[in-house]
Amino acid sequence: MQHFPNAGESRLERGRRALAEIDGEAGHKVVAALGDIAPDFATYIFEFPFGDIYSRPGLDVRSREIATIAALAAMGNAAPQLKVHIEAGLNVGLGREEIIEILMQMAVYAGFPAALNGLFAAKEVFAQRTVDGSEPKA
């Protein structure tokens, strides 16, 4: 899964497809939660980040998820979004150990609190995937 071009496909259609392939259920829960408060914002999520940015050539989705996990962890205030993208990272082939290393790396550039918060978010995602049976125990 490198990028998502498809001639004749709208940004919205391309974005919906990319979101489904990358974030799966977690991404659709975010979009669905916006339905009663800001449905237009849900459309923007489909079109811009997924229809335009994730769909570009140049980086594969695995590399994009590494960057996204690092950025969200470094922000230190985006735990819900970080969890969604940890799920996405696992969906596109990142291993638990790789995600842990990405988050530990953030201690150097974003500080120990950001790294700790990221690691605890990952711990929750890993535990939930084990409970759900979507990933075997590591």
For the chain, what is the mean pLDDT? 91
> In whole angstroms, what is the distance from residue 114 CA to residue 106 CA?
7
Where do the structural domains in the chain lie, given as residue ranges? 1-58, 60-138
- Homologous superfamily, domain 60-138: AhpD-like (1.20.1290.10)
pTM of the model: 0.86
Query: Cα angle at 13 between 5 and 61, to 5 degrees?
Result: 45
For residues 93 and 138, the model is more confident at 93
Mean pLDDT score, 51-77: 95
User: What number of CA atoms fall less than 13 Å from residue 34's CA on the CB side?
Assistant: 13
CA dihedral 3, 7, 10, 14 (to 10 degrees): -20
Position 3 scores a pLDDT of 58
138 has pLDDT over 80: no
Q: For every residue of the chain, which 3-state class applies, written as one string?
A: CCCCCCCCCCHHHHHHHHHHHHCHHHHHHHHHHCCCCCHHHHHHHHHHHHHHHCCCCCCCHHHHHHHHHHHHHHHCCCHHHHHHHHHHHHHCCCCHHHHHHHHHHHHHHHCHHHHHHHHHHHHHHHHHHHHHCCCCCC
Residues 79-132 have pLDDT tens digits of: 999 999 999 999 999 999 999 999 999 999 999 999 999 999 999 999 999 888
